Structure 1
Amino acid sequence: MRGEPHRERVGSRVPTRRRRRIRHAWTACLVTGAVSAGLLSGVSPATAESALGRFSTTLSPPSPPGGDDVRVLVFHASATEESPVVDAGIEAIEAIGRTGPAATRFTVEATDDASVFTEPRLGGFNAVVFLTGGGDVLDADQEAGLETYIESGGGFLGLHDAARTEPYSDWFGGLIGARPAKTNPTAVQRAVVEVGDRQHPATKTLPLEWKRPDKWLNWTTNPSGVVHTVARVRESSYQPGAGANGADHPVSWCRDYDGGRSFYTAMGGTADSYQETDFRTHLRGALNWTSRLVRADCQAAINANYTAERLTKPNQPGQNDQIGEPHGLVTAKDGRVFSIGRGGADSSKPVVTDWNDPEIGKGQGEIHIWDPKTNQVSLAGSLTVFGNKGGGDELVKNEEGLLGIELDPRFEDNGWIYLHYTPHSRIDRNTRMAERRVSRFTLNRATNKLDLSSEKILLKWPVQIHSCCHAGGGMAWDSKDNLYIATGDNNSSQFSGGYSGNNPEPNYKGVSFADARRTAGNTNNLNGKILRIHPEQDGTYTLPEGNLFTGEETAEGGGKTRGEIYVMGVRNPARIDVDLKTDTLYAGWVGPDAGAPSATWGPAKYDTFAAITEAGNHGWPYCMGNKQPYRDRNLPDPTKPLGWYDCDAPKNESPNNDGLVNLPPVTGNTIWYSPQGGAPDFPRDANGVPSYKQEESKYLLSWLKGGGQATMNGPVYRFDESSTSTVKWPSYWDGKWFVGDFYDQDQPRHAVLTDPRTVGKGGLPVHAENLKKIIPVGTNGIRNLMDWKFGPDGALYVLDYGRGFFTSDARSALWRVTYRGGQATPAAADLVRKETAQ
């Protein structure tokens, strides 16, 4: 250490009330220097004079901190111990200041003399760096000087042990953002830093997964959501010790604080850190922002900048005047939100379950429109569907009905709406079969009503309705105007112990209802798939190139395929989304019911999300997760296990299969989770079969867990720079994929980043950020997430299903989550070199 280190002065602390009086007196002197230095460039002379009051200074003002004279103060005093990182840190910051683009260069002054904070020349620095810190190093006047400097628009960068500085000061604790826990690992360990902010100058060019050694601090309180976290350290990649913070362990963050800018990184705890190219890049971006050389958004991940507002009122008694049984939404370019009700009514309406009654399952699939101009809801129309048969076991309840909605890409011109539904008029009560269809309707723009006579049936196929469940329903467009249609496996959840839905025995009048190899695993069946078609003007469709099959495959003795199939092997994909920038398809589907893995039958229930870049087989009911196989079973005794399925060369040898026997290889999925944790994995034997022993399990994604679980895939956000909306989510979220669950406890509600090199190839996401305080959970929040999409205004629209099942109730609602965090800082006019404005 250069100079005599300060010692902790516990007994010399000035009482809070007296310190405030001292601070007010010192403010006058320091503000004079700050005004002349240009830090208070937005303050008028009259305001400055008023702030100075009767105090003044005769000291000569320094040169303004701009133009060719941008300056950074590096302060490195410590009241605890000398630090070997000081010289390395000073050298690195000096090198950063004199290299790189001329527009971002600066000069450096280093000191361990705290009296600098009581000198007017402090206002001549664009930013102050606390390099080491530790303990009580500032007296009352000095802390007051630093506080006034920040209030006057100054910048602050804290490095590693700076978080231990001024332990008695709440204000300094706020400036830092968090304090280290009492228990911290002391050894240097190599760990993975997840770089979630891809836009801040301190992180945008760093690796998504940044592997580096350092001393990693734990926090007494997690600051994420109060500060804007730009990077997190992955605790599974090192030993965090007893004070671990868990899946969300911030390591670098920033915020606009008390009139100035504050950036803190817990990295930099070793001298070697300052020799790393990537760490210097990290520091360069932080210094450029705190010094007012560049702008950056440090507000986007702060929870208080978001507001969740309920848009619909509770339905009137006995009516679905505001909302039906929520099942999906889509937004129009004019800002209107179209939401659909599956078919359930409120609890006062009777549910008919008697198959001898011609009214069995009859419900109304409703289309409601919320208009932002009036903030009112209207009923655009309803379809009579087979979809009000709920409650009870698999042979009583049903998930059919109005399942999906999409607007034509040229909806503003033609008024076309596509609906995915099960018409009640087409059910066969004798065979207990129904017809599923995707139809095009026209909305009468004069009356805002759906013209039921305008129906053009694009596609229809049979579904069994003897036993519940898994209807799917989501739809989405790609950039080439291809329509994707998600269909469930139309299979019972029972009869297989909650493992692979592959029991060939149960059937009703010859149609199996417990063997998903008849549907999802069948190349000649449209259930358990994501279809891709190209709708034509006349209400027909053509098949785009690149689907999984052509429809002409006739190998293996006449087996068949359907050319509409883009993805096979999915269980219940209720929600899908296509990122129009990349045409990547994002989907999620619910898993089976087994609560734990079985060495006999295979994995537990895995709810699944997949980023899909090409046609493929995603495994169900043969394999799940990262190609973890189930055990085969067949007649005459399906209770006895046969061999394990081969995920690389699966065969459909079910007696209920009328498609190809040899199936496409299984593609691993992006995210899977069980009641025990996220992305369970196990050791595998020589044949690649996992042990499925709970005690040998490893969880690859620590940020999520299930329990009661039902995936609700969300959108990929794309920021519209040309939009003038005042409520749009910021560009920080651009390219992030929103994944959620119907439930709101330990289940996911996150924005994730994928690696472009592995997306669509079974690669795990590299970063996840919790959204539960932005999209609020709990009884009075959005507890049962049913669908979520961004509107043209950049706000997020969310459906809360309500608190019952197969009904609409007082909690069923459409919500909107808006952002009002403001622009990036500093303001463009406050940049010290205007040519660097971004």
Structure 2
Amino acid sequence: MIVSLLAGAPANARTDNDVGGGAEKRQEPPGSADVRVLVFHGENAPDDVTQAGIAAIEQIGSEAPEEQRFSTEVSDNPGVFTPGKLEKFNAVVFLSADGDLLDADQEAAFTEYIKSGGGFLGLHDAARAEPDSEWFTGLIGSRPAEGGPTAPQKATVEVGDRVHPATKGLPLEWARNDTWFNWAENPSGKVHTVARVRESTYDPGEGANGWDHPVSWCRDYEGGRSFYTGMGGTVASFGESNFRKHLSGALQWTTRLTQADCKATIAANYKATRVTQPNQPDQLDQIGEPHGLDVADDGRVFSIGRGGGMPNSPVVTDWNDPKMGLGDGTLHVWDPKTGKVTLAGTLDVFGNKGGGDELIKNEEGLLGIALDPDFLTNGLVYLHWTPHAKIDRTAHMAERRVSRFKMNLATNKLDVASEKVLLSWPVQIHSCCHAGGGMDWDSKGNLYIATGDNNSSRFSDGYSGNNPEPDFGGVSFADARRTAGNTNNLNGKILRIHPEADGTYTVPEGNLFTGNEEGGGKTRPEIYVMGVRNPARIAVDQETDWLYAGWVGPDAGEPSTTWGPAKYDTFAVITSAGNQGWPYCMGNRQPYRDRNLPDPTQPLDWYDCGDLKNESPNNDGLVNLPPARDNNIWYSPQGGGPDFPRNADGVPSYKLEEQQLRLPWLKGGGQAAMTGPVYRFDEGSNSAVKWPSYWDGKWFTGDFYDGDQPRHALVMDPSNAGSGGLPVHAESLDAIVPAGEGGIRNLMDWKFGADGALYVQDYGRGFFTADGDSALWRVTYEGGPPTPLAANTLGKQDSAGGGKR
């Protein structure tokens, strides 16, 4: 029902005095199981929008399922704001409430109402109410900026919160017509944003907020609940079914009919703790040169060090010295029960030649770790590494391998003698770089192994890395067509194998090749994905078995109309075997120029991303390759998602002045893509530090560097994620996984543990060493459970928490 409290109401309508009496202050939150909502609006509010809003809220309350119904009462008289009258309402809605409406006593009564557990829903113009009240600004969360658009425009709303009752079930991308405010201060990080408006889809005018433009948000505020939406500025808004769903969910939470989490993206609710100490002088007792981690189901964190020693430790670069490049590949275990670190074991790796010239430094060593799916039973751990004992100092070649080792679960010690080599292949070690390293499992027990292209782009001016000429001992080190573009080479790939109990492996069905193409000898059946450059990190979401990968691009600072795209660091959602394009194409199939013999300094034709051919003299695989496919995310020094007009042959112009940035939330510069996991919320876990359900299904992507580089949680559209669809929504993690001085500045790896906390490796501030900032961090959630607490939830069904109340 709706009861009018407007002046001149019919005789049978209730009056202001009927709203509530002068009852004494209660210890219980205001309202009762007979849920009532007060809709308050300004006396001079626009009648058409006001009446449309009143009608919509009344209908939402009266037509809801029985356990979610509420009655609605309406007033434009600020006299309703007294303690005795407000205590009758579970929530108060400000509709078309613009300007200074409440006197000091009335605001004090409203303040006390919120502090005692009342709910507030502000619609559109409510952001302009009580303009001189600092308290009301806090209740709303922000204020409109001057000079924004005034006329309705069609725009796209990104619905980032997929679990809050106000947004659950809404489209990922919600196109609608409304009047859009710009915000004087962006409230992100201080409120919990549930939806944003995408500025690229309309004209935001002066005071635009950029890619992070909140439009609906909520927060627990001084004991009560506050939900605000900037939408609802037009009559038509209140007739939209999706907007009514939005209002209905907001009202369910503000009236205490259901629980919801409005704390999940508030930065202050997270705590980042460094859990390892700096190494003792001349020791690697806490951590090696960070290069990957894995977390056991009992909470122990296993952290590997690539091979670099402490700063200023000896580095041997003389090929005539038997110890050339000898380093310590370390495995450390951090135990949450004791808070202590154990050096579990050390492998003699080729991986400590230090920095400097590209013909001196290298990125080999101990590169990846994956605990067996039954690790707590069998103690098996898989390591991806380059043994020093297998280097050929004459040919400048080495062996890369994936080996299985046995751990003593009681002592946290690695049995080095237990090694069983599953898979090995040759790598050149004359020139840096690109070793890759990441490993992960799918739900079927298949092991994914990321390998770099074992190649330099230095001799291709930072572009495609396809110069066939430089070699050592007949092995090219500047032609990625020898590796990443070669169907018969395991470098520049993501491999997929199934380890067997005896230490061997089989190849699962569905990989890119069978090994029998063209009679055999031209393909490797272990290849799942080809055409990746330097994938240091990969992750598999075991709920979908989708592979999430990121790789570092070449070094060109800007696009070239001669050679092609600039440095693109890349992320991709991979749902099937295929070719991601390198070194022929990058981004959304943007081609490079061929530079084959006789003169690599002169360009030949543009590569055809849909009809690729490997015509390199260094190719021993197939000539005709699988077509390149689109990647989901790419970013250059100029920004995120560079795209260009294309000619009739599909070749981009590569002119900077014609560049369009399709992913404005990404910035470029010094870049090194580090993909993270997809978070899966465990409702059955009783962990007090697990991240909230808001993050469920979100993909974490980041960059080695902090500052303006990406560190985000992304919402992908499942219908196009595997075919190169762009992210629908990006949530900045910079304040939660803290960047900057004193924080996690050089992100190397990150994974969630069984406790729902995020474990992060900070590489440190030097290169090829483990310095005082090399560390393992733990990021925990400290915000508490959804609100209101169960004891104060009036509804019979808790749609957010999933349980009866």
- Does residue 673 in structure 1 map to residue 635 in structure 2? yes
- Look up the equivalent residue of 2:29 and give its one-letter code: L
- Does residue 339 in structure 1 map to residue 306 in structure 2? no
Deviation at 1:241, TM superposition (A): 1.2
Could you tell me the TM-score, scaled by structure 2's length?
Answer: 0.96
Deviation at 1:447, TM superposition (A): 3.2
Mapped contact 1:103–1:836 kept (Cα < 8 A): no
- Does residue 538 in structure 1 map to residue 529 in structure 2? no
Mapped contact 2:5–2:74 kept (Cα < 8 A): no
After superposition, residues 125-140 of structure 1 pair within 5 angstroms as: 125-140=89-104
Instruction: Select which of 103, 107, 110 maps to 2:67.
Output: 103
Name the structure 2 match of 1:610: 572
Deviation at 1:358, TM superposition (A): 1.3
- 1:626-645 CA-to-partner distances (Å, cap 9, x unmatched) read 11111111111011111111
Whole-Å separation in 2 of the counterparts to 1:532 and 1:284? 47
- Does residue 75 in structure 1 map to residue 40 in structure 2? yes
Name the structure 2 match of 1:736: 698
Q: Percent identity?
A: 72
After superposition, residues 187-202 of structure 1 pair within 5 angstroms as: 187-202=151-166
After superposition, residues 177-326 of structure 1 pair within 5 angstroms as: 177-326=141-290
Mapped contact 2:257–2:798 kept (Cα < 8 A): yes
Name the structure 2 match of 1:113: 77
Instruction: Select which of 380, 405, 412 maps to 1:416.
Output: 380
For these two proteins, the number of residue pairs brought into alignment is: 786
Whole-Å separation in 1 of the counterparts to 2:81 and 2:725? 50
SS of 2:114's equivalent in the other structure is: helix
SS of 2:723's equivalent in the other structure is: coil
Deviation at 1:444, TM superposition (A): 2.0
Whole-Å separation in 1 of the counterparts to 2:21 and 2:359? 78
Whole-Å separation in 2 of the counterparts to 1:722 and 1:776? 28
Whole-Å separation in 2 of the counterparts to 1:331 and 1:3? 62
- 1:715-757 CA-to-partner distances (Å, cap 9, x unmatched) read 0001111111111111110100000000011110000010010
Instruction: Select which of 731, 739, 750 maps to 1:788.
Output: 750
Instruction: Select which of 29, 33, 53 maps to 1:39.
Output: 29
- Look up the equivalent residue of 2:32 and give its one-letter code: P
Name the structure 1 match of 2:560: 598
SS of 1:157's equivalent in the other structure is: strand
Name the structure 1 match of 2:609: 647
Whole-Å separation in 2 of the counterparts to 1:191 and 1:739? 26
- Look up the equivalent residue of 2:39 and give its one-letter code: V
- 1:175-213 CA-to-partner distances (Å, cap 9, x unmatched) read 101111112111211111110000000001100011111
Instruction: Select which of 667, 671, 692 maps to 1:705.
Output: 667
- Look up the equivalent residue of 1:589 and give its one-letter code: W
Name the structure 2 match of 1:801: 763
Whole-Å separation in 1 of the counterparts to 2:130 and 2:763? 49
Whole-Å separation in 2 of the counterparts to 1:71 and 1:433? 77
- Does residue 160 in structure 1 map to residue 150 in structure 2? no
Deviation at 1:559, TM superposition (A): 6.1
- Look up the equivalent residue of 1:222 and give its one-letter code: N
- Look up the equivalent residue of 2:776 and give its one-letter code: L
SS of 1:190's equivalent in the other structure is: strand
Whole-Å separation in 2 of the counterparts to 1:82 and 1:333? 59
Whole-Å separation in 1 of the counterparts to 2:169 and 2:660? 31
Name the structure 1 match of 2:477: 513
SS of 2:460's equivalent in the other structure is: coil
SS of 1:544's equivalent in the other structure is: coil
Whole-Å separation in 1 of the counterparts to 2:325 and 2:356? 13
- 1:61-113 CA-to-partner distances (Å, cap 9, x unmatched) read xxx631xx21111101157x645310111111111111131211111111111
Over aligned residues, Cα RMSD in angstroms?
Answer: 1.6
Whole-Å separation in 2 of the counterparts to 1:213 and 1:256? 29
- Look up the equivalent residue of 1:320 and give its one-letter code: L
Whole-Å separation in 2 of the counterparts to 1:605 and 1:287? 48
Whole-Å separation in 1 of the counterparts to 2:273 and 2:755? 15
- Look up the equivalent residue of 2:251 and give its one-letter code: L
SS of 1:124's equivalent in the other structure is: coil
Name the structure 2 match of 1:382: 346
Deviation at 1:445, TM superposition (A): 2.7
Q: Which moved more, 1:106-115 or 1:581-590?
A: 106-115
- Look up the equivalent residue of 2:723 and give its one-letter code: K
SS of 2:157's equivalent in the other structure is: strand
Instruction: Select which of 428, 433, 456 maps to 2:392.
Output: 428
Mapped contact 1:34–1:122 kept (Cα < 8 A): no
SS of 1:246's equivalent in the other structure is: coil
SS of 2:87's equivalent in the other structure is: helix
Mapped contact 1:337–1:371 kept (Cα < 8 A): yes
Name the structure 2 match of 1:499: 463
Deviation at 1:2, TM superposition (A): 9.8
Whole-Å separation in 2 of the counterparts to 1:421 and 1:89? 64
After superposition, residues 537-616 of structure 1 pair within 5 angstroms as: 537-554=501-518, 560-616=522-578
Deviation at 1:348, TM superposition (A): 2.5
Whole-Å separation in 2 of the counterparts to 1:321 and 1:746? 33
Mapped contact 1:30–1:149 kept (Cα < 8 A): no
- Look up the equivalent residue of 1:256 and give its one-letter code: D
Pick closer, same or farther for the CA change 1:602–1:835 going to 2, 3 Å: closer
- Look up the equivalent residue of 1:560 and give its one-letter code: K
Mapped contact 2:637–2:669 kept (Cα < 8 A): yes
Name the structure 2 match of 1:628: 590
Name the structure 1 match of 2:32: 65
Pick closer, same or farther for the CA change 1:344–1:627 going to 2, 3 Å: same
Mapped contact 2:348–2:388 kept (Cα < 8 A): yes
- Look up the equivalent residue of 1:150 and give its one-letter code: I
- Look up the equivalent residue of 1:65 and give its one-letter code: S
Name the structure 2 match of 1:352: 316
SS of 1:377's equivalent in the other structure is: strand
Whole-Å separation in 2 of the counterparts to 1:238 and 1:673? 23
Whole-Å separation in 1 of the counterparts to 2:671 and 2:360? 22
- Does residue 439 in structure 1 map to residue 403 in structure 2? yes
Whole-Å separation in 1 of the counterparts to 2:240 and 2:684? 38
- 1:364-421 CA-to-partner distances (Å, cap 9, x unmatched) read 1000000111101010001000000121111010000000011111111111110000
SS of 1:171's equivalent in the other structure is: helix
SS of 1:109's equivalent in the other structure is: strand
Whole-Å separation in 1 of the counterparts to 2:338 and 2:711? 31
Whole-Å separation in 2 of the counterparts to 1:465 and 1:629? 28
Deviation at 1:33, TM superposition (A): 5.2
Whole-Å separation in 2 of the counterparts to 1:690 and 1:189? 32
Whole-Å separation in 2 of the counterparts to 1:549 and 1:779? 47
Mapped contact 1:154–1:261 kept (Cα < 8 A): yes
SS of 1:120's equivalent in the other structure is: helix
Deviation at 1:782, TM superposition (A): 0.2
Name the structure 2 match of 1:473: 437
Whole-Å separation in 2 of the counterparts to 1:183 and 1:446? 66
User: Which ranges in structure 2 are unaligned for 5 or more consecutive residues?
Assistant: 9-19
Whole-Å separation in 2 of the counterparts to 1:390 and 1:606? 26
Pick closer, same or farther for the CA change 1:412–1:139 going to 2, 3 Å: same
- Look up the equivalent residue of 2:546 and give its one-letter code: T
Mapped contact 1:332–1:407 kept (Cα < 8 A): yes
Instruction: Select which of 643, 662, 686 maps to 1:724.
Output: 686
Deviation at 1:3, TM superposition (A): 6.9
Deviation at 1:31, TM superposition (A): 8.7
Name the structure 2 match of 1:638: 600
Q: Which moved more, 1:102-111 or 1:565-574?
A: 102-111
SS of 1:146's equivalent in the other structure is: helix
Whole-Å separation in 1 of the counterparts to 2:410 and 2:89? 63
Deviation at 1:787, TM superposition (A): 0.4
